[in-house]
Amino acid sequence: MDIVERFLKYVSFDTQSAEDAGQTPSTSKQLRLAEYLTEELRSLGLVDVEMDQNGYVYATLPANTGRPVPTIGFIAHMDTSPDCSGCDVKPRIVRAYDGTDIVLDAEAGLTTSPKKFPELLDHVGEDLIVTDGHTLLGADDKAGIAEIVSAMEYLLAHPEVEHGRVRVGFNPDEEIGLGAHKFDVEKFGCQWAYTMDGGELGELEYENFNAASARIDVEGVSVHPGYAKGKMVNAVRVAAEFAAQMPTHETPEQTAGYEGFFHLLGLEGNVERARLNYIVRDHDRDRFEARKDYLRGAVEWFNRKYGREVMRLELHDQYYNMRQQIEPVPHVVDIVVEAMRACGIPPRVRAIRGGTDGAQLSFMGLPCPNIFAGGLNFHGPHEFLPVPSLRKASELVVKIVELTAQKTF
């Protein structure tokens, strides 16, 4: 099957995950794609193909060499973001994009314009897969799945490419931060792996944010407003006061590169009770810890100001910067850089302003950098996927497997 046809088949499955579902996978509809992939991998000739009770799919490409070669893996996630609908995706291929506005839905007046999305101009002359403007596309991360499966299909059809044992893993719920939680690293059995979950052609990422979530509950005192002087403590007003006193220059909209931030996700409440939800991010571990200390100190200050425990803080670490796990094994990155150059892909090594399953997997004992999948403008209706990037990513998987078999470790 051609890789474009394969990708278009995958995006026909609605696999949107859901926050706070309390189950794995968070939505049962993800299982339909997992079941399809299980059958597809078997039909291609991979072995040890299985889907576990949580919807994780594993498979093996057996080695075709007698020499000792490390077992490596390739991983992608099946779910799409809760931020935008992934139901009834209607993809369209724009042939030889000419650099002008792309009409997604003429009747609804929906377009994708290079004025708003200048990255489109990097792909003039290329075929682009776009949406109809009403859903996301799903290249995050069904492009990654298509690239891995197509690479395995190629390697099975070309036994002259010498390679070691290769493992494939497809997981649910990456978009809600739970993709790695039930990933069976021991069963996967790899020395290292790669997530195919990045963006633009050439991206290679082995640094990410250290991440924490923070919930601040505010307890007020409700009194009739006509007699409230000196008695009422308006919880939602206290919450707003707290938010206003947080550093205004350390928010997502004010930061870039290696700059960390506090991000207020939501504020809700009334006079009696209010709640603020934050995420805390920083690439540097010391600065990350200092940010958490700042929150603790701010809550303590408010409690002193109001003379009682008006605020309670719940702070939970989510994941850490994978760099400290990757640096001791530099060949894991060096092979990808060499493979990119062999495929004519300029490497773009950069830090992720976010996290991936690979970050959590790295701390679970599986070093796991992140490689581009080729899509852009994820999580919304302006998402698009350049077809040449899709093909190059799959070619890169093959080259990584080939080069790994040629190395001495």
CATH number at residue 271: 3.30.70.360
Give pLDDT, residue 357.
Answer: 87
Give pLDDT, residue 126.
Answer: 98
For residue 54, give both structure tokens. Answer: 């949580």
Question: Using one digit for the tens of pLDDT, what is the confidence trace for 148-169?
Answer: 999 999 999 999 999 999 999 9
Cis ω on the peptide bond leading into residue 141 (within 30° of 0)? yes
Grouping H, G, I as helix, E, B as strand and the rest as coil, residue 38 is helix
Give pLDDT, residue 108.
Answer: 94
Say whether both 36 and 87 belong to one domain: yes
Count of CB atoms within 10 A of residue 276's CB?
23
Say whether both 86 and 220 belong to one domain: no
Q: What is the pTM of this model?
A: 0.88
The amino acid sitting at 399 is K
Last residue of a domain, one of 319, 346, 361: 319
Last residue of a domain, one of 301, 319, 337: 319
Give pLDDT, residue 318.
Answer: 87
Q: Are 310 and 219 in contact, with CB atoms under 8 Å apart?
A: yes
- Residue 174 annotated in active site: yes
Say whether both 113 and 129 belong to one domain: yes
Say whether both 90 and 132 belong to one domain: yes
Say whether both 42 and 98 belong to one domain: yes
What residue numbers bound the domain in which 217 lies?
Answer: 210-319
Last residue of a domain, one of 319, 335, 366: 319
CATH number at residue 112: 3.40.630.10
Say whether both 326 and 289 belong to one domain: no
Tell me the C-alpha distance between 54 and 244, whole Å. 42
Say whether both 176 and 253 belong to one domain: no
Residues 6+ apart with CB under 8 A from 94: 102, 127, 128, 129, 130
Tell me the C-alpha distance between 377 and 266, whole Å. 23
DSSP class of residue 95 equals T
Sign for the pseudo-dihedral over CA of 163, 167, 170, 175 = negative
Q: Identify which of 3, 176, 15 has the alpha carbon closest to the alpha carbon of residue 80.
A: 15
Say whether both 237 and 255 belong to one domain: yes
Say whether both 203 and 217 belong to one domain: no
Active-site pick, 14, 79, 140, 141: 79
CA trace torsion 162, 167, 172, 175 (10° rounding): -60
Say whether both 170 and 314 belong to one domain: no
Neighbour order of strands in the sheet with 72-77: 47-51, 57-61, 166-171, 72-77, 192-198, 370-372, 203-207, 348-351
Say whether both 86 and 195 belong to one domain: yes
Give pLDDT, residue 408.
Answer: 77
Give pLDDT, residue 240.
Answer: 97
Give pLDDT, residue 10.
Answer: 98
Tell me the C-alpha distance between 91 and 200, whole Å. 19
Domain count, the chain: 2
Tell me the C-alpha distance between 3 and 365, whole Å. 32
Residues 6+ apart with CB under 8 A from 232: 220, 221, 222, 223, 225, 271
Say whether both 85 and 171 belong to one domain: yes
Q: What are the pLDDT tens digits along the chain (409 aa)?
A: 999 999 999 999 999 999 888 899 999 999 999 999 999 999 999 999 999 999 999 999 999 998 999 999 999 999 999 999 999 999 999 999 999 999 999 999 999 999 999 999 999 999 999 999 999 999 999 999 999 999 999 999 999 999 999 999 999 999 988 899 999 999 999 999 999 999 999 999 999 999 999 999 999 999 999 998 999 999 999 999 999 999 999 999 999 999 999 999 999 999 999 999 999 999 999 999 999 999 999 999 999 999 999 999 999 998 899 999 999 999 999 999 999 999 999 999 999 888 788 999 999 999 999 999 999 999 999 999 999 999 999 999 999 999 999 987 7
Q: Are 347 and 203 in contact, with CB atoms under 8 Å apart?
A: no
Tell me the C-alpha distance between 242 and 236, whole Å. 10
Question: Using one digit for the tens of pLDDT, what is the confidence trace for 268-311?
Answer: 999 999 999 999 999 999 999 999 999 999 999 999 999 999 99
Give pLDDT, residue 409.
Answer: 73
Active-site pick, 140, 173, 174, 395: 174
Count of CB atoms within 10 A of residue 113's CB?
12
Q: At what angle do helices 387-406 and 3-10 cross, to 10 degrees?
A: 110
